[in-house]
Amino acid sequence: MSARTLLDKLWDGHEILRRDDGASLLWVDRHLVHEGSHHAFAKIGERGLPVAQPELTFAVADHYAPTRDRDHLEGDIARMIRTLEDNAARHGLRLFGLRDPRQGIVHVLGPEQGLTLPGLLVNCGDSHTSTHGALGALAFGIGATEVAHVLATQTIWQRRPKRMRLTVTGTLGEGVSAKDVALNWIAKLGADGARGHAIEYAGPVVRGLSMEGRMTLCNLSIEGGARLGLVAPDEVTFEYVKGRPFAPEGAALERAMEDWAALVSDADATFDREEVIDGDEIAPTVTWGTSPEEALPIGASVPDPANLPEGRAARAREALDYMGLTPGRTLEGTPVDQVFIGSCTNGRIEDLRLAAAVLKGRKARVPGLVSPGSALVKKQAEAEGLDRIFTEAGLDWVEAGCSMCVGMNGDLVAPGKRCASSTNRNFKGRQGRGARTHLMSPAMVAAAAVTGALSDVRPLLKGRV
């Protein structure tokens, strides 16, 4: 057999058949659904179809989950959560509902519970399903019609994406995180730079990342146009998986790890595309526009559209007008109105620890919200005293959910207000109509809270990590 990449090994292991046009019918090992999946349930309901493999489908309340006052649900929020509960009960699905002590954002909960494992194919009706690729799983988001197809058949039709390897060399400096790596490559290649590709992240920087960091990196793959992101499983992965509720145990785990160890690209495998980024050159990064590709090191200045090619200039002028920024002004020192720490990108325990390291013993100059990625992350953070650091700094500590990332659940940025956010998207209106969002790492958000402006976190972290 010819040399294969990690993508090829995962794809071949799930391919049931291939049509003449090249599309593959793939077996789905884990199907994750949430409140937004109601359209798909309605589709199979119209045809009187059951869920084909209910034991492989897991329902999670996250997008509409309120982070406060959960005992008094009203309006669309109440309706969406009730619909999810009804669909789960009707089809016999395991539900991680609002009052489940394991509830959380689907892309935090899946790995946390051991539902996501190396070698599995994971689907969810959410683009950031790419997160799960950090464990060496074939994971990608799907649309409502595809969700219905998976519910009805436990399979999905897909075309194999092209293979891209993104190698991050060198080492990351203090205060530089996986979020900065992701924003860096997206700014370099563009929001469509990886379109049509599956990215395998490689190199010493990637190998040195924790599972939390790898999940952040894979989570943001979609923001650079990729279909999915992958990191080959290794000892870091195996240690993370051990002891998870749905993970194999004992001899079964030992056998599984032997199989997982083979999930690496062969040494002589070829990729359709190779990209290399020098980790030594990456600085804490922040977005200035309305796309994740519009990002620069914190020490840089807002670009002047007059110095850009006409196609890019028009977009930059529009973005700067919406964001209320002046060309040529340094990003550092730009005042913010509020901050948000959380999301499926940066709501894990490591993220909260880094933010707390910045905030400990300091006061926030602006209001803000900290929403852990899951109820278990919240419990662990409280056991470590992180919640007290946040509240003593003046930030609100709330329940787990997508929260201010999507603005579907009552957590919003007011029109015209500027938010330093650890989320994944900054397009117009993402956090509320007229909201101005700057994406950055949780530590950078904490720095913005302390200073009241976009700031370089590195001086604030000295001697603290």
Per DSSP, the residues of 230-245 read: E----HHHHHHHTT-T
Q: How far apart are CA 140 and CA 124, in angstroms?
A: 7
Q: String of b and e for 193-228 (b: at least 16 CB within 10 Å)?
A: bbeebbbbbbbebbeebebbbbbbbbbbbbbbbbbb
Amino acid at 271: F
What per-residue confidence (pLDDT) applies to 1? 65
CA atoms within 13 A on the CB side of 394: 14
CA atoms within 13 A on the CB side of 104: 26
What is the block-wise mean pLDDT of the chain (465 residues), using blocks of 10 residues? 94 98 98 97 97 98 95 93 98 97 98 98 98 98 98 98 98 97 98 97 98 98 98 98 98 98 97 98 98 98 94 94 96 98 98 98 98 98 98 98 91 96 96 96 98 98 88
What per-residue confidence (pLDDT) applies to 465? 79
What per-residue confidence (pLDDT) applies to 359? 98
CATH 3.30.499.10 for domain 6-273: yes
Domain boundaries for CATH 3.30.499.10 within the chain: 6-273, 286-461
Domain 286-461 CATH (choose: 3.30.499.10, 3.20.20.80, 3.30.70.1450, 3.40.710.10): 3.30.499.10
Burial class (CB in 10 A: 0-12, 13-18, 19+), 306: exposed
Q: How far apart are CA 37 and CA 27, in angstroms?
A: 20
Q: Kindly report the number of other CB atoms within 10 A of residue 122's CB atom.
A: 27
**Mean pLDDT for all residues in the chain:** 97
What per-residue confidence (pLDDT) applies to 448? 98
**H helical segments located in 59-200:** 75-91, 106-113, 144-153, 178-189
What per-residue confidence (pLDDT) applies to 311? 83
* Strands, E assignment, 376-449: 396-397, 418-421, 436-439
